[in-house]
Amino acid sequence: MTETSLDGRRFGSVGDVEAGEVGVGTVFEYHEDDGEVWAHYSGGAVRRGYLVGTRVGDRLDFRYSQLNDRNETSSGHCVSTVRVLADGRLRMDETWEWESRPGAGTSAVEEIRD
């Protein structure tokens, strides 16, 4: 894949995440600069979340930290693979695990176009 920047792009979860707190109401706003990636996100059960990490090619590796709607904090690790959908939007398929509590899973986010 030719690398397409994530900078300034918004993504939404394609479904509620089992064992997680991200859901269809969660929106991520990504930034990218020279191999660094970061984002803030909120919506659904997530009041406020942040992620920071790196990108090499189509692979992202980052840590996330978030506050849920019950005022509980949690953190974890995620590896995502970026791909281009047929309509030109980006999708990230994710494998994640909590580091602050038990649980792990897979999820996906797709680019939101207004």
pLDDT tens for each residue of the chain, 114 residues long: 457 999 999 999 998 887 889 989 999 999 999 999 999 999 999 999 999 999 999 999 999 999 999 999 999 999 999 999 999 999 999 999 999 999 999 999 999 997
Residue 53 lies in a domain: yes
Using CA atoms, how far residue 101 sits from 5, 39, 73, 74, 95, in Å, is 32, 22, 10, 7, 16
**How much is the pLDDT for 1?**
46
Q: How many CA atoms lie less than 13 Å away from 102 in the CB half-sphere?
A: 0
Residue 3 lies in a domain: no
Residue 5 lies in a domain: no
**How much is the pLDDT for 71?**
97
By residue range, what is the domain housing residue 102?
A: 10-112
Q: For the domain that residue 20 is a member of, what is the CATH number?
A: 2.40.128.30
Q: Residue 35: beta bridge partners? A: none
Residue 20 lies in a domain: yes
Structural domains of the chain, count: 1
**How much is the pLDDT for 2?**
54
Contact between residue 10 and residue 112 where contact means Cβ atoms under 8 Å apart: yes
Contact between residue 46 and residue 67 where contact means Cβ atoms under 8 Å apart: yes
Contact between residue 22 and residue 39 where contact means Cβ atoms under 8 Å apart: no
